[in-house]
Amino acid sequence: MNQINEIKELQARLKSLKTDGKSIGFVPTMGALHEGHLKLVEECKLANDICVVSIFVNPLQFDNADDLEKYPRDLVSDAAMLEKVGVDVLFAPTVSEMYPKPAVVNILFGEMATLLEGKYRNGHFEGVGVVVSKLLHIVSPDKAYFGLKDLQQYMLIKRMCDDLSFPLEIIGVDIVREESGLARSSRNRRLSKEGLEIASNISKGLGIAKEMLDKKSPISEIKQKLTNFYNGVEGLDTEYVEVVDGEDLTSLDDYPKSESIAICVAAYVENVRLIDNLFSQDLKN
Ligand code: AMP
CA-to-CA separations, 115 to 70, 88, 121, 154, in angstroms, rounded: 25, 37, 10, 14
Per-residue pLDDT for 200 more than 70? yes
pTM beyond 0.85: yes
Does ligand 1 have an atom closer than 6 angstroms to the CB of 29? yes
Distance 76 CA to ligand 1 centre (A): 19
40 close to ligand 1 (CB < 6 Angstrom): yes
Q: What percent of the chain has pLDDT above 90?
A: 96
List phi, psi (to 5°) of 190: -90, 0
CB 125, CB 37: distance < 8 Å: no
The residues assigned a catalytic role are 37
Task: Classify the phi-psi angles of 88: left when phi > 0, otherwise alpha if psi is within -120 to 50, otherwise beta.
Answer: alpha
The pick from 42, 60, 149, 274 for probing ligand 1's pocket by mutation, whose C-beta has the most ligand atoms within 8 angstroms, reads: 149
pLDDT at 282: 75
Query: Is 202 within 8 Å of 274 (Cβ atoms)?
Result: yes
What separation in Å is there between the alpha carbon of 221 and the centre of ligand 1?
30
How far does the centroid of ligand 1 lie from the alpha carbon of residue 62, in Å? Answer: 16
Whole-number pLDDT of residue 285: 55
* Probe target for ligand 1 pocket from 37, 41, 91, 177, with the most ligand atoms within 8 Å of CB: 37
| CA–CA gap between residue 155 and residue 177 (Å, rounded) | 21
Q: What is the mean pLDDT of residues 262-274?
A: 97
Judge if the beta carbon of residue 147 lies within 6 A of ligand 1.
Answer: yes
Largest CA distance in the chain: 58
Q: Is 175 in the pocket of ligand 1 (CB under 6 A)?
A: yes
C-alpha distance from residue 91 to each of 15, 28, 36, 72, 269 (Å): 15, 9, 19, 18, 32
Contact (CB, 8 A) for 86 and 111: no
43 lines ligand 1 (CB under 6 A): no
Of 66, 59, 191, 217, nearest in space to 131 by CA: 59
Distance of CA 57 to the CA centre of its chain: 13
169-191 tens-digit pLDDT: 999 999 999 999 999 999 999 99
Give the integer Cα–Cα distance in Å for 165 and 148. 22
The tens digit of pLDDT for each residue in 20-76 reads 999 999 999 999 999 999 999 999 999 999 999 999 999 999 999 999 999 999 999
pLDDT above 70 covers a percentage of the chain that reads 99
37 lines ligand 1 (CB under 6 A): yes
Ligand 1 lined by 146 (C-beta under 6 Å): yes
DSSP state, residue 177? B
Side by side, the strands of the sheet bearing 50-55 are 2-4, 89-91, 50-55, 24-29, 143-147, 169-173
User: At residue 223, does pLDDT exceed 80?
Assistant: yes
| Cβ(273) – ligand 1 distance below 6 Å | no
pLDDT at 112: 95
Ligand 1 atom at minimal distance to the Cα of residue 177: 19
- Residue 235 pLDDT > 70: yes
108 Cα: distance to centroid of ligand 1 (angstroms) = 22
Task: Please report the pLDDT score of residue 284 as a whole number.
Answer: 62
pLDDT exceeds 90 at position 259: no
What separation in angstroms does the CA of 271 have from each of 143, 208, 237? 35, 25, 9
pLDDT for 258 equals 84
How many angstroms separate the Cα of 113 from the Cα of each of 83, 124, 152, 227, 285? 35, 9, 8, 24, 29
Where is average pLDDT lowest: 43-47, 65-69, 132-136, 281-285? 281-285
pLDDT in tens, 100-117: 999 999 999 999 999 999
Among 26, 29, 153, which residue has the most ligand 1 atoms within 8 Å of its CB, making it the best to mutate? Answer: 29
Report the pLDDT value the prediction gives residue 257, as an integer from 0 to 100: 87
Phi, psi angles (nearest 5°) of residue 57:
-85, 105
Q: What separation in Å is there between the alpha carbon of 34 and the centre of ligand 1?
A: 9
What is residue 12's predicted lDDT score, i.e. its pLDDT?
97
- Other beta carbons within 10 angstroms of residue 20's beta carbon come to 9
